[in-house]
Amino acid sequence: MSTHALEPTQKAWRLYVEEDILDLQQLRPEVADSWQRCRNLKIDPSKARECVVNLPELRERLYRKQQMVKVARPFMDNLYNFVKGSGFQVVLTDEHGYLLEVLGDNEIVSRTKQVLLCPGGIWSEAAQGTNAIGTALVERRPAQVYAWEHYCKQHHFLTCSAAPIFDPDGELIGVLDISGDYHVANAHTLGMVVAAVNAVENQLRLMRATEKLYVAYRYSNALLDNISDGLISINNNGIITEINTKGAEIFAINPVRAKGRHIEQICGPHSPMLKVLSDGNEYVDREIIIEKVGQKVYSSASLIRDDAGGVIGVVAVFRKNDNRPPQKRPTVLYSHCYTLDDIIGESPAILSAKEWAALAAESSSTVLINGESGTGKELFAQAIHNASPRQGRQFIALNCAALQESLVESELFGYEEGSFTGAKRGGQAGKFEIADGGTVFLDEIGDMSLSAQAKLLRVLQEKKVSRIGSISEKSVDIRIIAATNKDLQSEVQAGNFREDLYYRLNVLGMRIPALRERSEDLDLLTRHLVQKLAAKLSKGPVRIKEGFLEKIRSHNWPGNIRELENALERALIRSGAHGVLSSDLLDFNLAPQTASIEPKPSEITSLRDAEKRLICEAVDFYDGNIRKASAKLGIGRNTLYRKLEEYNICCGRELRR
């Protein structure tokens, strides 16, 4: 645009600034309205406000707008390719006018940086006067501002074209803008920006629809997996489109691998589903033989039709031919909701562990997980279970260190009525029996007594259990996943762990990296855990300061993720209602600050008395919690149980594991 063409606007600006006269004949209505807003905001037209945020706050705003930035970036690249070399730059802001990203040639970027049109700059009308970004935010529609139409004098060299971005709910979330020297203005610039914004909004709507479809898919999968019968659906080419957990169990196949395969590979070449597909004759409760596994099942099949009545597939239900009366299974309240997607991290170490876990899920072999305390060994065990064909069946976690020697057999194998004093009427199923068809997770396997190890080895070898007091055995189909923080090979050499059991367990061995080995995941883990803990503590949005993250990065985390989670929970509690996490809220010193449990010297009459007093005071101090008491005393839980029995210590507390 020529300087001559802008002379009327230049005169109108001077008339308004110097004499407070608004020449409406020379100004576009949206510009006149904006100038009046600027006057009401007491903005100095001779000098714009220097409004810019620091780097930590910019990072926080980028994090909050990461979805919009991720979607907009490819379209910003396309726009920049159009204007490259022309003295223009592409700008993305949030809904408050804070500049998040800028793409442009070095010359224009350097020039606009002087007026804070750079990342961290604030270009709302309240900060910079009339400008395309700020005016688009106020008007909630595309805006274009040329040269002297800018309210502040130092912006008169610019021409800006901006359009607001709305999310699928109609909420204003940002602005896309192209700015440059007004001498090279292009009449089509605003149209390009509007087209790019439309593409961004369409992509956001598509992502929202995809999220809804995914949630619906998870709901339907949950419903399918809670059906007691097997279910398989195929398309009109015979390709499996859905198979539930029970169906995968009946056909002895991994459900993930089954999808996308031809039904012949699962049911054999004489699949009745293919016959229904070819002749259209549905059937109900037909006894069929699954050739692959050689078992009889009852099946019903129906055609799937589209709106026009055309056949698009077949769905079949399979039920095992079991004439035995249904047995009531004991209710087990063990959660196993974690999947591989719940394991947070992008470091090579954690990605390698997740990849190995996915491979382990495809097998039915025993798994031995090694890792320091607090690294998430049970989380990995649950993820392996939920990615395996046993998904939807029982997952029972047992802490081997917490099992008393006298209770190991009854806990693991169960007992019959009257088999010992205090036995429940009707007896009780053991954990192995309850977990039939599912997975048993044996945590802290390195702390299991040698006698219990021998009993476990027999189960692994024979796949049979016998309740205490019973003369019969029952076959069980269980998968064992064990975990330890010890070097079991060293324990074998020291005689503390059976060599034959070690090799039975270590068919698929995997190691979980310590947190210090995946420090690049700290920021990601911190934000994830803060979000989870904030919901748990009923807190609103939480802002994390950069100093808080820096202090987390500098810590060694000997307690791994468990220590990190505890430290974050303490920090959130200490933050009160402010919702801001700063470095001074982090406390890594976990040593008790109050009541000592050291014995009084005047009361010690012998070494045994001292030991007895220490044990009694530790148990009393931790309100009967054996795990905490043993940790404070520096001894194992089994040792503490033995000492309690040896000294006949009760301490007036109900002992808890």
DSSP 330-362: PP--------GGGS---SHHHHHHHHHHHHHHT
CA 203-207-210 angle, 5° bins: 135
Q: Please list the residues that pair with 121 across neighbouring strands.
A: 52
Taking Cα atoms as reference points, which of 436, 393, 362 lies closest to residue 228? Answer: 393
Q: What is the pLDDT of residue 295?
A: 67
Selected residue with higher pLDDT from 367 and 408: 367
Amino acid making up residue 183? H
Q: Tell me, letter by letter, the H, E, C secondary structure of 497-539.
A: CCHHHHHHHCCEEEECCCHHHHHHHHHHHHHHHHHHHHHHCCC
Q: What is the pLDDT of residue 290?
A: 66
Q: What is the pLDDT of residue 201?
A: 93
3-state secondary structure of 155: helix
Tokens of 269: 């070449």
Terminal alpha carbon distance of the chain? 80
Q: What is the pLDDT of residue 275?
A: 83
Instruction: Give dist(CA 556, CA 552) in Å, integer.
Output: 9
Q: How many CB atoms lie within 10 A of CB 540?
A: 7
Tokens of 418: 């009257």
Selected residue with higher pLDDT from 255 and 488: 488
Question: Would you say 534 and 374 are in contact if contact means Cβ atoms under 8 Å apart?
Answer: no
Question: Would you say 290 and 251 are in contact if contact means Cβ atoms under 8 Å apart?
Answer: yes
Residue 44 pLDDT > 70, yes or no? yes
Question: Would you say 79 and 161 are in contact if contact means Cβ atoms under 8 Å apart?
Answer: no
Selected residue with higher pLDDT from 267 and 165: 165
Q: How many CB atoms lie within 10 A of CB 45?
A: 21
Residue 596 pLDDT > 50, yes or no? no
Q: Tell me, what DSSP letter sits at residue 81?
A: H
Tell me the average pLDDT across 484-503.
92
Q: What is the CATH number of domain 227-320?
A: 3.30.450.20
Q: Give the H/E segment covering residue 282.
A: none
Q: What is the pLDDT of residue 324?
A: 39
Selected residue with higher pLDDT from 183 and 130: 130
Which of the residue ranges 71-80, 143-152, 444-453 would you say has the lowest mean pLDDT? 444-453
Q: Considering only the top CATH level, what class is 340-511?
A: alpha beta
CA 223-224-228 angle, 5° bins: 105
Q: Considering only the top CATH level, what class is 515-585?
A: mainly alpha
Strands (E) located in 239-290: 240-243, 283-290
Instruction: Give dist(CA 356, CA 359) in Å, integer.
Output: 5
Instruction: Give dist(CA 27, CA 485) in Å, integer.
Output: 75
3-state secondary structure of 105: coil
Which of the residue ranges 192-206, 397-411, 500-514 would you say has the lowest mean pLDDT? 397-411
Q: What is the pLDDT of residue 654?
A: 47
Question: Would you say 21 and 15 are in contact if contact means Cβ atoms under 8 Å apart?
Answer: yes
Pairing of strands 295-305, 311-320: antiparallel
Residue 634 pLDDT > 70, yes or no? no
Q: What is the pLDDT of residue 656?
A: 53
Sequence-distant (≥ 6) Cβ neighbours of residue 287 within 8 angstroms: 296, 297, 298, 299, 321
3-state secondary structure of 557: coil
> Is 172 exposed, middle or buried, given 0-12, 13-18 or 19+ CB atoms closer than 10 A?
middle
Residue 293 pLDDT > 80, yes or no? no
Largest interatomic CA distance in the chain: 107
4-207 and 227-320, same CATH topology: yes
Tokens of 395: 């997952």
Q: What is the pLDDT of residue 485?
A: 92
Instruction: Give dist(CA 176, CA 374) in Å, integer.
Output: 45
Sequence-distant (≥ 6) Cβ neighbours of residue 181 within 8 angstroms: 87, 108, 157, 158, 159
Instruction: Give dist(CA 152, CA 580) in Å, integer.
Output: 35
Instruction: Give dist(CA 504, CA 513) in Å, integer.
Output: 23
Domain boundaries, the chain: 4-207, 227-320, 340-511, 515-585
Q: Give the H/E segment covering residue 123.
A: none
Residue 335 pLDDT > 50, yes or no? no
Residue 138 pLDDT > 80, yes or no? yes
Q: Considering only the top CATH level, what class is 4-207?
A: alpha beta
Question: Would you say 16 and 44 are in contact if contact means Cβ atoms under 8 Å apart?
Answer: no
Residue 578 pLDDT > 90, yes or no? no
* Rg, the chain, Cα only: 34
> Concatenated DSSP letters for 4-54?
GGGHHHHHHHHHHHHH----TTTS-HHHHHHHHHHHHTT--TTS----B--
Contacts 24+ apart (CB under 8 A), 316-321: 316/231, 316/232, 316/233, 316/272, 316/273, 316/276, 317/229, 317/230, 317/231, 318/229, 318/230, 318/231, 318/232, 318/246, 318/247, 318/250, 319/229, 319/230, 320/250, 320/295, 321/287, 321/295, 321/296, 321/297
> Which percentage of the chain shows pLDDT scores above 90?
34
Strands (E) located in 256-323: 283-290, 295-305, 311-320
Selected residue with higher pLDDT from 435 and 384: 384
Provide the whole-model pTM: 0.44
Average pLDDT score over the chain:
82
> Which percentage of the chain shows pLDDT scores above 70?
86
